[in-house]
Structure 1
Amino acid sequence: MDGYLQILIELIFGYIALFALTKIMGKTQITQITPFDFISALILGELVGNAIYDNDIKFQKVIYAVVIWGILIFITEILTQKKKGLRKLLEGKPSIVIRKGKIDYGMLKKAHLDINQLQHLLRSRGIFSVRECEYAILETDGSISVLRKSSYEPVTIRDLNLPRSPVKLPVTLILDGEIEADNLLFIKWNEEMLFNEMKKFGIDSEKDVLYAEWREGEELFIQTY
């Protein structure tokens, strides 16, 4: 029974310590988490976990370690606010992954990001087609900021008194040099039809294509490596 009571006390004190530390460090630790912040959170959890499951470690020492770690993080936050060089080292810097409407493949590789992940991030910003994007910036917390092309900026149809047009979903046909066979079937195309469209752009092989996208009523969008 004493063992259960000790675990209860340690959990309560650990909860209070972590909660207080989170409040001190501010909301950016959660909403704008960087790799350094992620590691910091793991270490904080490990410190409290050690107190619960390792009987050789006194809980007072763990509280002391949590406080010291919190002070170090707090000092680091102050330094990153004042020293730009240190800020780049600990937090990284944003990367432009789409520049002037073109995917920067080299920057994607440097950021360890593939085309599928880029598409996912764009969709999270309400952009379902690469052709709508003029610039896309991968932020240090893993999110993406997007600047649409002027022709794709949202407008209020009601204000312009324009008739509503049906929404057309773009379909990826080639990704990283490979044909998406299921998507071809979805739009009722075959490889011959796809190659005929590619030849209009002077492209003979799908291996040369980084990304190809189809949307009903529009020209095929193709970007090579």
Structure 2
Amino acid sequence: MKAFDLQRMAFDKVPLEFLGEVALRSLYTFILVFLFLKITGRRGVRQMSLFEVLIILTLGSAAGDVAFYDDVPMIPVLIVFVTLALLYRLVMWLMSKSEKLEDLLEGKPVVIVQEGQLAWEKVRSANMTEFEFFMELRLNSVEQLGQVRLAIMETNGQISVYYYDDEDVKPGLCILPDECVKRFMVVPESGEYACIRCSHVVTMQAGEHQLCPRCAHPEWTKVSRAKRIT
């Protein structure tokens, strides 16, 4: 076999005429996926649950095979799409009848911020990190957690945020990127400090060093009292 053979790399043993068939197969699978999404009523991945993403990935695998391989017949792939569409409808009906099945397949909403502090125990029990949530909160114009009365991670991955009124904003952990936040192991002056990891707020004296009583993390930052800019 000749290395860097452009003919082999580009076409292998496939005749040039097969490219037209690939285009037809791609159009065929595109239409099937489009019809499936229309049937399920979904507009985008962000609106999909884990179960629905799994269905789409399965459809994508079937679509890719029939589009690129000349020995994959098209009718069986149609049966795959019909079967998955019926399965989707059946599972949706079963979930409407069973809350336990719905929780198993869809998951449950998770409270990530409550009364201005990260709901550390709930986040930890869900095997999730705080950093991805902070990014999502920044996208919702949140600078510090004391601005947030309640934030919930929905089952589709989006975050619902409920804010305090300006007069009720609490001092809280600044969630801006690391280069915008000074961290201390030993606090430089007396005042209120927030744990970098779990957002727990304590009053500390200048020169004091302690582990967070909530999560045992040693790093602190000065609390922020910034109000929301809308």
Secondary structure at the aligned position of 1:184 is classed as coil
Aligned residue number for residue 204 of structure 2: 201
Aligned residue number for residue 10 of structure 2: none
1:38 counterpart letter in structure 2: V
Residues 181 and 31 of structure 1: CA distance in aligned 2, closer, same or farther (over 3 Å)? closer
Could you tell me how far apart the structure 2 residues matched to 1:36 and 1:55 are? 30
Aligned residue number for residue 19 of structure 1: 34
1:172 to partner: Cα distance: 5.4
Secondary structure at the aligned position of 1:134 is classed as strand
The one of 103, 124, 130 equivalent to 1:109 is 124
**2:25 touches 2:67 (CA, 8 Å); kept in 1?**
yes
Residue correspondences, number? 194
Report matched runs for 1:152-171 at 5 Å: 171=174
- The two structures have a TM-score, normalised by structure 1, of 0.71
1:72 to partner: Cα distance: 0.8
Q: Percent identity?
A: 19
The one of 129, 134, 145 equivalent to 2:160 is 145
Could you tell me which runs of 5 or more consecutive residues in structure 1 were left unpaired when the two chains were aligned: 155-169, 219-225
Could you tell me which runs of 5 or more consecutive residues in structure 2 were left unpaired when the two chains were aligned: 1-15, 194-201
Report matched runs for 1:30-109 at 5 Å: 30-109=45-124
Residues 171 and 85 of structure 1: CA distance in aligned 2, closer, same or farther (over 3 Å)? closer
Structure having the larger proportion of residues in helix: 1
Residues 15 and 87 of structure 1: CA distance in aligned 2, closer, same or farther (over 3 Å)? same
Question: Is it true that 1:120 corresponds to 2:101 in the alignment?
Answer: no
1:85 counterpart letter in structure 2: K
1:45 counterpart letter in structure 2: G
Question: Is it true that 1:135 corresponds to 2:129 in the alignment?
Answer: no
Moved more, 23-32 or 46-55: 23-32
Q: RMSD of the TM alignment (CA)?
A: 3.3
Could you tell me how far apart the structure 1 residues matched to 2:19 and 2:179 are? 58
For residues 64-102 of structure 1, give each alpha carbon's deviation from its aligned partner in whole angstroms, at most 9, with x where no partner exists: 111111111122222223322221111011011222332
